[in-house]
Structure 1
Amino acid sequence: MASEEEVPTMNTSDYDRQKELKLFDVTKAGVKGLVDQGVTKIPRIFITPSDGLVTRPFSDDVHLGTPVIDLNGIDIDVNRRNLVVEKIRNASEAWGFFQLLNHGIPLSVMDDMIEAVRGFNEQPNEVKAQYYTREMNKKVVFNSNFDLYEAPATNWRDTFHAVMAPDYLDPEELPVTCRKIFPEYSKLVKELGTRLLELISEGLGLNPNHLKDMDCAEGLSIAGHYYPACPEPELTLGAGKHSDNVFITVLLQDQIGGLQFLHENQWVNVLPIHGSLVINIGDFLQASLS
């Protein structure tokens, strides 16, 4: 978060934010387009205002780590499964986040997904612009900041979004870079999501199919975020503070890191573990666990 000292004093009397947003939007080039132009100062729409909230650890001696859960052996060892069920329940209720190991999605598939998103965003703009739209009811969407015209500050990122389920998405509707790997990854994530819903149901003392029978495993979408190098990273964010309403979010995390979540008024860094997935329990499901 940019601090008050880092945000320069600005004259707001002649600043038309909506006009600047529109000028940025009509390029259909996103943040990557600005980087390609060689900008050395970020446009004002990207400067993140300080909200004055103190969310750093209470003590420099406090070191919090995201819960890490290993699914290995849960299908052959009842005691192991019960232990994992309890760990998932505790992590979901108390943290809302945990990292998952031995989740069943091959590392090669995860790497191919990251490369597909990177490959799409690093294509010439005339190729990406074909998918650029603010019509969020479309199944395939590319844009920068879905809430561009409503958010108080614009995030330094571009996003490619595809709705993969419950309705079938013809792979031909996807960009070439994503056409093969998106369906493969979606199938594996759907299987993992169903498995997690079973374990969570068990943790709640319910039939393993309880959440699945409520259609919690029906919808699936992929949002591939791309964060170009920023000339003034101290003034902006790749993703501002927010909460997610979706039931379960499976996050692919590159080995660079940068993801944080708020736990007991402290920002916790999610350190990358090679081959792991970050699971975010959405607001709706966490509310039912609490």
Structure 2
Amino acid sequence: MDSYPPFQKMYSTLFQDQHKLNHEPVVQELELPLIDLDQLKTGGRRREDCLRAIGKASSEWGFFQVVNHGISSDLLKRMRSEQAKVFGLPFEKKANEKLIDFSTNTYRWGAPSATSLQQLSWSEAFHIPLTKCSESKIQHNTLRRTIDEYAAAVSDLAQKLAHLLAENLGFMRTSYFAQNCGSSSCYLRLNRYPPCPIASEICGLISHTDSDFLTILHQDQVGGLQLKKDGKWVTVKPNDKALIVNIGDLFQAWSNNAYKSVEHRVIANKEVERFSVAFFLCPSYDTIIRSCREPVIYRQFSFGEFRQQVQEDVRNTGHKIGLARFLA
């Protein structure tokens, strides 16, 4: 039985649409700014240089990659192996049984509300709230242990990076992220992008910005991640030793536009499947987001208000509007 979702059957009417997806031209393949987190341990000038490099990348790219990040290569390999196993199960088994009983709608694929190919993502995912890890009823014990271990490690890294980004703006002892971005609000997403026979007409993941503070991504070497740089799409060159970090909408608002939440997407591949796992540093819905500098660019808002507005915009217009709704 096929493990891939039935995209063409489910969305057959969309494939008859004459307005096919027209990918904007890509300039080139580039390496993201590379940050060696070991520099933070030395103190002094090297630590200051590392902080500045993180701030510069977050301002100019909205993305950077980190090495010596504290998550072992063994754990990353095990995470990749376990998610390949669970995604490799027959589609009907994934869709109808509680293989990973974290929450309702754990397993997701495609885009149920899509009305055009521009709104359809050729991918599938397991959405895993961190609070549900210890409560889960995963039928695969090695997957559960690996997810628990990975979630703990990447959560620590995310908190560390958020603190460094705040410190770079002059906030030396902020406990804001530790207080507001705990396991009750953060989550993992395991992703698979199946081979796509119409890769030139569709995205693996449609263009978007992330709605969190920051995202940490571990991807394989297939590639396909693209981001907007100076108004043009560039392809991110994979680095098997690095994790990718990108700024989300909330950090752009919190930093008063010092850091940028950048539009990105995943291009579908006609021949091979791609895997990735993403961690999202999110606050609770009642957390108030205030710009940290004057004059403020964005009015204050709660994360719940932001999420509700995004969902309404997607439902009504077919796309996310995001921070433009919250200008002061």
Structure-1 residue corresponding to 2:122: 156
Residue 275 in 1 paired to residue 241 in 2?
A: yes
> Residue 46 of structure 1 contacts residue 155 of structure 1 at CA under 8 Å; is this kept in 2?
no
CA distance in structure 2 between the aligned counterparts of 1:208 and 1:31, rounded to whole angstroms: 48
Choose from 166, 174, 199 the match for 2:138. Answer: 174
Deviation at 1:241, TM superposition (A): 0.8
Shifted more, 90-99 versus 169-178: the winner is: 169-178
Partners of 2:237 and 2:210 in 1: how far apart? 20
Q: Percent identity?
A: 27
Aligned residues of 1:120 and 1:175 also touching (Cα < 8 A): no
Decide which structure has greater strand share: 2
Q: 1:123 aligns with which of 84, 89, 95?
A: 89
Aligned pair partner of 1:206 in 155, 171, 183? 171
- Which amino acid in structure 1 is aligned with residue 32 of structure 2? T
Instruction: State how far apart, in whole Å, the 2-side matches of 1:47 and 1:245 are.
Output: 32
The alpha-carbon distance between structure 1 residues 175 and 47, as it changes in their structure 2 partners (threshold 3 A), is: farther
Structure-1 residue corresponding to 2:14: 45
1:131-280 pair list within 5 angstroms: 131=97, 138=103, 141-145=106-110, 147-150=111-114, 152-153=116-117, 154-164=120-130, 167-170=131-134, 172-176=136-140, 178-218=143-183, 219-280=185-246
CA contact (8 A) 1:155 1:237 kept: yes
Closer, same or farther: CA 74–168 of 1 in aligned 2, 3 Å: same
TM score, norm. by length of structure 1:
0.75
Equivalent residue number for residue 88 of structure 1: 54
- In structure 2, the CA distance between the partners of 1:264 and 1:149, relative to structure 1 (3 Å rule), is same
Q: Residue 175 of structure 1: CA displacement?
A: 4.6
Supply the distance in 1 between the matched residues of 2:188 and 2:168 (Cα, whole angstroms). 27
Distance 1:175 1:162, change over 3 A: farther
Assess, with a 3 A threshold, how the Cα gap between structure 1 residues 183 and 33 changes in structure 2: closer, same or farther. Answer: same
Q: What does residue 34 of structure 1 align with?
A: 6
Partner of 2:269: none
Question: Using the alignment, how far apart are the partners of 1:269 and 1:31 within structure 2?
Answer: 28
**Structure 2 residue identity aligned to 1:185:** Y
CA contact (8 A) 1:69 1:98 kept: yes
C-alpha change, 1:128 and 1:224, in structure 2 (3 Å) is same
TM-aligned CA deviation for residue 99 of structure 1: 0.8
CA distance in 2, matches of 1:151, 1:43: 11
TM-score by structure 2 length?
0.67
Alignment CA distance shift 1:187-1:34 (3 Å): same
Specify which structure has the bigger relative contact order, considering alpha-carbon pairs within 8 angstroms and separated by 6 or more residues.
1
Amino acid at match of 2:4: K
Q: Could you list the per-position Cα deviations for residues 32-75 of structure 1 after superposition, in whole angstroms to 9, with x for gaps in the alignment?
A: 1438xxx79x8453689557785544xxxx77542111101312
Structure 2, unmatched stretches of 5+, are 258-328
Name 1:21's counterpart in structure 2: none
Asked if 1 retains the 8 angstrom alpha-carbon contact of 2:21 and 2:202, the reply is no
- Structure 2 counterpart SS, 1:81: helix
Gaps of 5+ in 1: 1-28
Q: How far apart in 1 are the matches of 2:75 and 2:15?
A: 33
> C-alpha displacement at 1:174, in angstroms?
3.0
What is the RMSD computed on CA atoms of the aligned residues? Answer: 3.1
Question: SS of the residue aligned with 1:162?
Answer: strand
What is aligned with 1:25? none
Query: Which deviates further from its counterpart, 72-81 or 92-101?
Result: 72-81
Provide the C-alpha distance between the structure 1 equivalents of 2:133 and 2:94, rounded to a whole number of angstroms: 19
Contact 2:5/2:109 (CA < 8 Å) preserved in 1?
no
CA–CA distance in structure 2, aligned partners of residues 209 and 72 of structure 1: 22
Number of equivalences:
248
Which structure has the larger Rg over C-alpha atoms?
A: 1
Question: How far off is 1:277 after superposition?
Answer: 0.5
